[in-house]
Amino acid sequence: MAIWIMIICIVIAVWAIFPPGPGKMPLFYDNNGKILPDSISEKTYIDVDGAKIGLLITGKSRSNPVLLFLGGGPGIPEYLLEYQNPSKLADIFTVCYLEYRGTSISYNSHINVDSLTTECYLSDAAAVTKYLRNRFSQEKIYLMGHSFGTCIGIQAAFRHPEFYHAYIAMSQIVNQSESEITAYQFMLEQYRQMNHGRMVKAFEKYQIAFSEMAYKEYCLSPLRDHAMHNLGVGTMHTMKSVITGIFLPSLRCKVYTPLERLNIWRGKKFTAASPVGSDRMEFNAYAEVPYLEIPIYFFGGIYDYTCCYSLQKNYYETMKAPLKAFYTFKNSAHSPLWEEPVRSMQIIKRDIRKGQKELSDSGTCHFHISPS
C-alpha cells in the first residue's frame, strides 16, 4: 500500500510540475463568449532553406499592423514571458513571435550546430518578414527585439529599412563584453558592501577583466545569473530566480506540448554552443550599426545589468536616425515591456504608432542605483 501511495504522490507531483497540454494558443473572445471573428491565434511553420521555422502568431484583429518580435537567449521563447505577464501587445498588433532555428518549436536534433550563424538568423528573419508582409498584405511591418533579439533586430533594420516602419529596441545589446565587465564590477561591489564573504570569494575567482578564459567561464557559470537575479538586475527587477521565474513556468506552459517544453531547454543548450550564441558576445553596435534609416525606439530598464542600461543610453546618444527616442523605465531591469506594461503600451500607442516621441526622456539622464 505504501508503495502505491508513493507512486500516486509522484504522479501527482509530476502532473503539477509538468502538466499535459495540447499546445494550443489562447483564443480571443468577445463579451458574449464568442471567438472574435477577425482574430488570429496560431502556431505555424514556414520552410526556410529546408528548415521548419516555428512562428507563434496572435492578435485581436488581422487588420492591425504586424509586429515581428525577436526574442532573447537564443532559446528562451519570448511568448513565454508574454504568457506569464500579458502586455496586451496583441490588442493593437498582429504579433509574430519568431522561434529561432534550433530552438523551442524550431528545434531539430539533426541541425548542424555550426550552421547556426548570425547570417543564418538574419536570413531567417528576412524570410519571416517577407512571409508576414505577403500574408497580411502590409508593405511594411514593425520590428521589435529583446536582449539577444536586439543583436539580430538592429542588423535586420539596418540591412532592410524598406521592410519596417520602425525598430523597437528593448534592452539593446551594445557591447556585451563591456557590459559583462561593468555588471561584474557592480555586483562584486554590492556584495562587498553587504559583507557577503561567500559571494565575494566566488566572484573573485573569475578575473574576467584580465583573462579571456576566466571571462568565458564566468559568462557560462551559474554564478552570473544567480547574482543578477539575487540583486534584482536580471530578467526582471522582482524576479529573484531563473528557476522559479522561467524554468518551472516553462514546464507548465500549456501553449507548448510537453515535448516542446523539453525542446525549449534542449534548444537553449544547443544554441549556446553555436556561432550565433557566441557572436552576440562580440557584437559591437557602435561599429556595426552607427545609424538607421528608420525610427528607433529604445526601452531601457534602469536596473538592467544583463545589457547595461548605461551602455544603451550612451549608444542612443551617439547613433543617428531620422527619429530616435529613449524611454527609461525606473521600476524595471531587463524586461520593461512586462515589468511596466501599462507605460509600455502608452508609449507604443501614443508615440511609436504615431511616429512621435512625446513621452520619451528629456535630455540626458544619469542615475545611480542600488538593488532593493
pLDDT of residue 13: 43
Low-confidence ranges of the chain (pLDDT < 50): 4-15, 363-372
Residue type at 223? L
Cell of 336: 520593461
pLDDT of residue 17: 58
Which pTM does this prediction carry? 0.91
How would DSSP label each residue in 34-79? PBPTT-EEEEEEEEETTEEEEEEEEES-TTSPEEEEE-STTTS-HH
Quote the CA–CA distance of 7 and 127 in Å, as a whole number.
Answer: 49
Sign of the torsion formed by the C-alpha atoms of 224, 225, 231 and 235: positive
Domains and CATH numbers, the chain: 29-372 (3.40.50.1820)
pLDDT of residue 16: 52
Q: How far is CA 152 from the centre of its chain?
A: 11
**Distances in whole angstroms, Cα of residue 242 to Cα of each of 74, 105, 163, 225:** 15, 21, 35, 8
Q: What is the pLDDT of residues 162-197, one digit of tens each?
A: 999 999 999 999 999 999 999 999 999 999 999 999
Cell of 165: 516602419
Helix (H) or strand (E) segment spanning residue 5: helix 2-17
Q: What is the pLDDT of residues 117-129, one digit of tens each?
A: 999 999 999 999 9
pLDDT of residue 3: 56
Q: What is the pLDDT of residues 84-116, one digit of tens each?
A: 999 999 999 999 999 999 999 999 989 999 999
Q: Which residues contact 336 (CB under 8 A, 6 or more apart)?
A: 170, 171, 299, 300, 301, 327, 329, 343, 344
